[in-house]
Amino acid sequence: MSDPIRIFVGYSGNDEDIEFASVLEYSLRTHHPGDDLTIEWMRLSRDPSSFWYSDPQRKKGWRTDNWATPFSALRWGIPAYCNFQGKAIYMDIDMIAMADIAELWNQEVPQGYGMLARPEAPCVTLYDCAQMKRVLPDVNSIKTIPGRYREIRNSIKPISKRYKGNWNCLDMRRDAGAGEYSSVFDPDIKVLHFTEIPTQPHLKYAIPRLAKEGRKHWYNKMTPRAHHRRDAVELFDSLLEKAQNAGYPLDRYRTSAPFGDYGR
């Protein structure tokens, strides 16, 4: 029996992105309906027994100083979480799967490398966890030294091989500055990534929902605005409705213990 496809999703800890979680899981499982796909919703936790434990106020566990998102550095902990065995896929939350993720999973990471990714934008990454052990610093230093995750990101190009296929399509753009895709359903798009937070399509649902709950989105500098590709937004809206009807309701993605202040 083959190993399960292990996907780790960078995720906020106070329910800000549950609409996107619903769409992402629905899209992943629609294109890969088998039961060999597991998803770890990778978010900060106040539980000291959790691998993702963090207490920013006491400077314990994962140090969140100056993180761009509530999960910025967590991706570099995945190989250690997996005991440096097998493979694992990292994904940001703000994505839609447009193809079977097994196509990425079945690609081989060459010897001498540690991962397949877009080196300049490692937001979808296939790790060879054993090979990553020789290139990553000790996981405790990643957790506890502020800014260490940025150092890693800036040094991964020599150990990162580009995968086959556009598994991180940035806002409908083709690779290498070759313009945009004319259709959101272009078969070259494997994963669609909404990269700019103020234009993410879930915000029109999330911000009013959070306001009713007496909460705010983690990105406090935000002035939401329309994404420049209406077809991509319409796809998200359609998939969100389909996901709710197919057994992926928003409450499925709520945390029972909101994290609170991220300390960023």
Instruction: Output the six-digit token pair for 119.
Output: 């080196």
How many domains in the chain? 1
Residue 148 sits in a domain whose CATH number is 3.90.550.10
**Residue 201 falls inside a structural domain:** no
Question: What DSSP string runs through 208-245?
Answer: HHHHHTT---S-TT------S-HHHHHHHHHHHHHHHH
**Residue 208 falls inside a structural domain:** no
**Residue 221 falls inside a structural domain:** no
Which residue in this structure is represented by tokens 């500055």?
177
**Residue 217 falls inside a structural domain:** no
Instruction: Output the six-digit token pair for 111.
Output: 């010897």
**Residue 169 falls inside a structural domain:** yes
pLDDT tens readout for residues 164-219: 999 999 999 998 667 999 999 999 999 999 999 999 999 999 999 999 999 999 98
Cβ-Cβ contacts under 8 Å for 235 (sequence gap 6 or more) = 96, 184, 192
**Residue 204 falls inside a structural domain:** no
pLDDT band at residue 1 under the 50/70/90 scheme: very low
**Bridge partners, residue 161, by sequence:** 116
| Host domain of residue 121 | 5-196+228-253
pLDDT tens readout for residues 74-132: 999 999 999 999 999 999 999 999 999 999 999 999 999 999 999 888 999 999 999 99
Q: b/e string for 8-26 if b means 16 or more Cβ within 10 A? A: bbbbbbbbbbbbbbbbbbb
Torsion angles phi and psi, residue 56, rounded to 5: -60, -35
**Residue 235 falls inside a structural domain:** yes
pLDDT tens readout for residues 245-259: 999 999 999 999 999
Q: How far is CA 80 from CA 45, 93, 182, 185, 237, in A?
A: 17, 21, 40, 36, 36
**Residue 112 falls inside a structural domain:** yes
pLDDT tens readout for residues 123-163: 999 999 999 999 899 999 999 998 888 888 888 878 899 99
